[in-house]
A and B are shown apart, each in its own frame.
Chain A
Amino acid sequence: MANNVDDSPDALCTIGEGDCVVLKRGDIFKAAQIQKNRKVIFEKQWFFLDNAVGELYGTAFEVASGGTLQPKKPKITESITEVREAGTDNRNIVDDGTSQKLTRDDIETLKGQGLKGQDIVQQLVENSSSFRDKTEFAQEKYIKKKKKKYENTVTILKPSTRILAQMYHGREPGKICHLRYDSLAQMLTLGNIHAGSKVIVFETCAGLVLGAVMERMGGHGSVIQMYPGGGPVRAATDSFGFPKHFLHTLHDFPLCKVQPLLAGRLSPDAQEPDAPPQPNPEGRSQESGGGDSTVERMESEMERETDDREKRREDKAQERKMKNEEKRKKQLAVAALLQPRNADGLVIASRLHPCPVLLALLKFMAPSRPFVVYSQYREPLIECYTKLREQGGTINLQLTETWLRHYQVLPNRTHPVLLMSGGGGYILSGTTVMAGPPKPTPPQSAEEPSPKRIKLQEADG
C-alpha cells in the first residue's frame, strides 16, 4: 500500500525564521513569531527563540541561562521515581510548616547556581521531612506540582485551530466573546465548512473564527469577511501563519454597505469614510502578529517626531488615495461575488446583536445551505429563531449549547477534572430553502405543515 510517502524533513515540519508558532508550557499557550535576537516573555520567563530554527515542530526545549533554548533530550530517566518509600495514610502528618528544610533563600541560591529544574525538585524532595510519610499518590502529586514550577520546558508547536482556540479561551476569552473551543468546533461542522465553497463570515472574535474557517477551506474556494467599523480585525487570523496563497481566497466587505448592496444601490464612487482605527480593545488589525506591540508603537511614535513631517504627510495623502482607489476596486469585486446570492455557508459570531446581521446576510445565500450563528447569550438567538420562523426561508432550526468536561485519567485516580467551564455560548443553526415560488416571501412558518395550513397556502398562492 501507500507506504512510500514518508515525509522527509521539509519546510512544513521544521521551524523557520519568521514562522508563526505557539509556545506551550503545561496547559498554557502563547502565540509568537520566530525572530532572531528578539526576547520573548512567557510565563514569567524570558528567552530567545533563535535556537528553535531548524528544529522540528513539537520539540520540547529547556530554557538555559541567558535565555537560550536547548532541545530537550527525549525521555530523561527519572531519578526521583526510583526506590520509593511511602506511607499509607496521613494520620501522622502534621502541618507545622517546618517539613521543608530548604528556605526560600536556599532555593533562590540553587536557582542562581543555574541548577536544572529537575535537580531543584530532587533537592526539595530530599529536604522534605514529610515526603516519605506521604502516600505514593501524594508523592507523585507533590513532584508533579514542583516540576510544574521549577522545570522550564517550553514546547514549540505549529499553530492550528485547536491550539489557538484553546489559547484564546484560556488567555483572553473576552476578545472572542467567550467562544469555547468545543462551540467553535460545532460551528465549523454544522456550517459544513469545507474546501471549494463560498463562505460568508461575520465575526468579532479577533479573527479566530475567520482563521478556523480558512483552515478548513485549505485555500480552496472563497471566504468573504463582513466587518463592522473601519476594517476587519485579524490578529488571531495572522497567528495561524497561513501560506500567502490562502490570502487570495480571502475577501472583505464593510457591513455598512450590505443594505445598499441588497437594494442594488451600492455606488462604487461613494467616498469611503476615512477609516479610523477601531476603538475596541482588539482593534489592531492586519499587521499585528500576535506578539507584543510596544516596540512597534514606540517606533511609530519616534517617527512622528522627525522633521520631515510635511513631506511625509504629502506622501501619505498620495498613498491613502491610492489605497482608497484599490479598496474601492476590491469592494466592487467582492460585491460581484455576493451579488449572485449563491453563498454556500454563513458563519456569524459577534458581540453585536445577531438578528439584523443574520436576516440581512441570509439573503446572499443559496438554498439548501447550512448557516450557524454564535452568541454568548441565548436571548438574542431566541429572537433570531422566532424571526426566522415568522419570515420563512429556513428550516431545520436548532438552538443548542454544548457542555465540556475534562477527565483526569490515572491508575486508581480517575475522575472528572475539578474545575469545568460554566458556559461556552449558544449556537443557532439551520438550513436555507427556496422561498415559495408564488410570492417572494410567503408567510409560511411551521416546519411541519398541517393539512389545514396547506389548504390555506394554496388558496393564498
Chain B
Amino acid sequence: MSFVEYAEFIQDGDVAIIFMSHDSMFPVKVQQGGQTQTRYGVIRHSTDLIGRRFGSKVTCSKGGWVYVLHPTPELWTLNLPHRTQILYTTDIANITMMLELKPGSVVCESGTGSGSLSHAILRTIAPSGHLYTVEFHQQRAEKATEEFGEHKVGHLVTVLNQDVCKDGFGVTGVADAVFLDIPSPWEAIGHAKAAMKRRGGRVCSFSPCIEQVQRTCAALAEQDFGEICTLEVLLRVLDVRAVSLALPDLGKEDEGGLPATPNATVTCRTAMPPREMAGHTGYLTFATKGPV
C-alpha cells in the first residue's frame, strides 16, 4: 500500500484504517506480531491483517467485527493525529481543483501542520509532481517527514524547516501552485510569487478571519496577481432516515365516511440536515500569476 497507489493485500508495514462505524475508526501501523485493542476485542496483525484483502471484515477476539480499509488521504484526514488545526476534505477538494493540481504539478505549501492537505496534494500530483512544504515548527516538520516516509510518499515531497514569511519556500521559479495556511499570508505573497514558474500559476490562501483576507487581497493586487477571488464552501451532511407523521383525527364524517383509525401514521424517507453544522472553516482566496 501507499497513499498514491492502491494495493490488494495488506502487508507488514502498511497503514490500514480500522473501520467500526462512521464516527469510529482509527489508523493502525500493521506489524508482524503486533496487536491492536478495540472495543470488540483484540486484532492480531499477523493472522487478522497481514495477507488479507483491504476491505475485509475482520472478526475480533470478543466476536465483534470491523472492516479494514485501504488508506486514502480522505480517511487519513479523519484519523490523523492532530498537531495543529487541519484542513478538511471539503476545503481540500476546492483547493485542489481551483489550484488546478494534477499529476506532474509542482506545489509549494506552508505550513505543513498535521499534513492533512499535504497527503491530498501528494495523491493528486503523483507520480511525477513534487511538493515543497515549509513548516517553521521543528518538531512538526520532523514528524511530517517521518509520516511521509511511512506512507511511502517521501520521494514526492521535500519538507523544509524554516519561516516562509522570512525565508520563502527554498525554491524559485518551479511551482505551478502555491498554498498558504499561515497566520500572516500577506507577508509570504512575495515569496509565493518568486517560487512560481515564469509562465505563471495559481495561488491560494486559507484564512479564518476576514481581516486576514483583506490584507492578503491587497498584497496580491500589489504583486500583480490577477483573477483574485475569495470564496467559502460549507458542507451539509444529510442524515437519511424514515420519519413517520401521525395523521390527524378530524372526527367522523356524518355519513359514509371511513371511521378514523386512531394512531394512524404515514412513513416517509427523508434526508435531514443536522441540528448543528460547521458554519465556518476559513475563507479561500485564489489568484493567478500571469506569465512574464
Contacts and interface: CB of A to CB of B under 8 A. Distances in A.
Contact of B238 (A56, A189, A344, A399): A399
Interface string A265-297: 000000000000000000000000000000000
A58 B288 contact: yes
Contacts of A162: 97-98, 100
Nearest to B285: A409
A216 B53 CA distance: 26
Contacts of B57: 433-434, 436-437
B284 to A, nearest CB: 10
B237 A400 contact: yes
Given A58-B291, A367-B55, A409-B230, A454 B237 contact: no
A90 B123 CA distance: 55
A398 interface: yes
A331 interface: no
A434 B69 CA distance: 10
B104 to A, nearest CB: 6
A401 B238 contact: yes
Nearest to A3: B172
Majority DSSP secondary structure for residues of B touching A: mixed
B267 interface: no
B229 A58 contact: no
Given A7-B198, A196-B5, A367-B53, A401 B236 contact: yes
Interface in A187-216: 188-190, 192, 194-197, 215-216
B26 interface: no
Nearest to A163: B100
Interface stretch (B17-25, B184-192, B254-262): B17-25
Contacts of A185: 93-94, 96-98
Contact of B200 (A58, A396, A409, A431): A58
B269 interface: yes
Given A3-B172, A186-B90, A396-B19, A192 B72 contact: yes
A5 interface: yes
Interface string B221-238: 000100011111111111
A409 B225 CA distance: 14
Contact of B233 (A74, A215, A403): A403
Interface stretch (A91-99, A101-109, A137-145, A378-386): A378-386
A432 B55 contact: yes
Interface of B: 4-6, 8, 19-22, 24, 53-57, 63-65, 67-70, 72-74, 89-90, 92-94, 96-98, 100, 102-104, 106, 120, 123-124, 126-128, 130, 132, 158, 170-174, 197-200, 210, 213-214, 217-218, 224, 228-240, 269-271, 283, 285, 288, 290-291
